[in-house]
Chains A and B, each alone.
Chain A
């Protein structure tokens, strides 16, 4: 078939096309993914019985706001990377802001604590499992976000995969807040972030295979 024949074919009886920003796809993906993560958390870990006491504490809400901010920024990046030619800037700089803020808060909290209490605050009770559990809860969200992206047209596949991983890591961490017993800002600033980086790296590694079109 010659190219002008292909053009004739494509233009013949062309349908009206509504622009799709992917808003609905991402809403479905995150809704279903978060539900999946919540069910997974309830089935394997359980909601923390002390949660009612945690919600009285400002450090719990600091954690929730931090993780939710990262999820929101991750969502903007994932949506931009789902459409050809969209600009990512200034989102990496925006992403750095809550991270740096949380690191400063965590460092300040550590420095103001007595020296012998610092290790306890940083490692908490659960540092060894926290990143892995965050990554586990990210898995259903990741599947949803990849599905959403595949209905659009990502062209920078590694970055798009990384953004999908980061977004699902942040949503997974948000769900994990219902189970997690840790409230120290330094713990959140390091171990939660590490947990989110696991699916980010996985997404970057799998991006070109999962998202190619």
Chain B
């Protein structure tokens, strides 16, 4: 009985998150925000259980994984479960961190369960040790400006293009490249 409930809950989580994500892909910012918020709770719970020896790393890795999900979101195949896609990314980022820290023994829980990611959630976040805002400041000017105006101040791409003298497409490219560069900076810890 318990198992059936659990399974039903996972399926419901999969369906709801997938709906939100697909709406987000279509440009629905509210749905996408709900998706990312729920996902960060799941990621936090998932990573907390697996980073027992490195509790300080959890929030940093939640942020790194969120950015990875965002930057690679074009690679999701809508015919496949969202769980499998997100979990592969989370595990990839986790293994990468552990390899860099060279401490696989920190692994307190096996990594190979297929459907676990949406099973648990943790909403209260601890502080990230690394400040993404500082890393943003280190980006090249055009990328930093595009992200600051469009993504932080919420101005439209057209308005940003007028304000900066860039074309609309170079604003979009600046955001895209800037967020990729940010992910690389996070990973390299610079």
Contact = CB atoms under 8 A, between A and B. Distances in A.
B87 A85 contact: yes
A22 B77 CA distance: 11
Interface stretch (B1-9, B101-109, B150-158): B150-158
Contacts of A17: 25, 73-74
Interface centre among B30, B77, B86, B179 (most CB of A within 10 A): B77
B66 to A, nearest CB: 6
A19 B77 contact: yes
A86 interface: yes
A10 B63 CA distance: 11
Contacts of A22: 75
Interface stretch (B11-19, B31-39, B48-56): B31-39
Contacts of B164: none
A85 B150 contact: no
Contact of B66 (A3, A16, A152, A213): A3
A55 to B, nearest CB: 40
Contact of B36 (A11, A13, A85): A11
Contacts of B183: 213
Interface residues of B, number: 56
B132 A16 contact: no
Contacts of B75: 19-20, 22, 82-84, 152-153
Given A155-B88, A213-B183, A3 B96 contact: no
Interface string A43-86: 00000000000000000000000000000000000000011111
Contact of A2 (B25, B33, B73, B128): B128
A30 to B, nearest CB: 19
A136 to B, nearest CB: 32
Nearest to B183: A213
Interface of A: 1-22, 82-87, 152-153, 155, 212-213
14 contacts: A6-B66, A10-B66, A10-B70, A13-B154, A13-B155, A14-B24, A19-B75, A20-B74, A83-B85, A84-B76, A84-B89, A152-B75, A155-B89, A212-B96
